[in-house]
Amino acid sequence: MAQPTSTFSSFDAVGNREDLSDIIYDISPADTPFLSAIPKTAATGTKHEWQKDSLTAASSSNFVIEGDDATTDSITATTRAYNYRAISDKVALVTGTQEAVSKAGRKSEMAYQMEKRMKELKRDVESALLENNAYVAGNDTLASECAGAQAWILTNSNKASDATASAGNGSDAHTDGTARALQESFVETVLASAWTNGGNPTMGVLNAFQKRKFATFSGSGTTTRDADTKKVINTVDVYIDPLGNEVTLVPCRQCPADVVYFMDPEYVKFATLRDFHTTDLAKTGDSVRKQIIVEYTLEMCTEAAHAAVYDLTTS
């Protein structure tokens, strides 16, 4: 059928208001499970230091003669470890006009942009803390960098035979070897090593691909089906090894895909010289400019409290 003559339709109109939803949709992941789980501590310098100590090895022959004079045992001094600070920031610049006009989905453009920048900055920090990067002292022309977790965890680690391990003190990075598929034996070995050395990792930090690998381990071979709710459950959220180490597996989008970390949150800290804060930058014209900045480092209290499996396939 044809439209009647002289019908005025929406195609002819020029004054109809736009139909723009007042909701802005964004599914970009913003969670930072590792950063959220570890405690904060204060740093007071650009080179953040802490002390480590250990007991002497247990002796099965510590027997003394009745009435004998006491023999003084040797005393070993504590050791100092350190990591350099890093400075990370995000900056937003909004014109005065854009801040003034009527907008859909937000009242203030600057407030909206700063909320996004904060989420982005926290993701950047999470990524840096878990990355395989050595510390960099920095200078007037070179940015300082903090060493990430992979440059620290050495004692309780499993790597490819052709990989080169880091020194375990943040000074150098792990050199990857030939990638291998994650195996339960790798996990059992590093957790047993951590237990032997006095560690108690309770948090597994891993990418989605490696999280799915845990569902293939021998103890999870049966997929659960709930007929009432019509759910199929095929996941491992808590892994308990033969020694009773109980580790909650926390998928982390910022974790390197070829690594599985087993962390004890009591012995790793987020040390801040300047915590996340917002600063108004100087005006240079008809615009508003704000910066979110954080100055921080990773305090790996004692790397032997943690464990890791390196050099894993990612597909």
Residue 83 pLDDT more than 60? yes
Q: Give pLDDT, residue 11.
A: 86
| pLDDT tens for each residue of 115-173 | 999 999 999 999 999 999 999 999 999 999 999 999 999 999 999 999 999 999 999 99
Q: Give pLDDT, residue 17.
A: 81
| pLDDT tens for each residue of 251-267 | 999 999 999 999 999 99
Q: DSSP readout, 176-225?
A: P-S-B---HHHHHHHHHHHHHTT----EEEE-HHHHHHHTTSGGG-SPEE
Asked which of 31-40, 60-69, 183-192, 215-224 is least confident by mean pLDDT, the reply is: 215-224
* 164 backbone dihedrals φ, ψ, rounded to 5°: -115, 115
Asked which of 78-87, 135-144, 151-160, 223-232 is least confident by mean pLDDT, the reply is: 223-232
Q: How do beta strands 203-206 and 246-251 pair?
A: parallel
Sign of CA dihedral 109, 115, 121, 124: negative
222: confidence class by pLDDT, cuts 50, 70, 90: low
Q: Give pLDDT, residue 9.
A: 79
Residue 28 pLDDT more than 60? yes
Q: What residues pair up with 312 in beta bridges, in sequence order?
A: 180
Domains of the chain, by residue range, sit at 33-50+80-309
The mean pLDDT value of the chain amounts to: 92
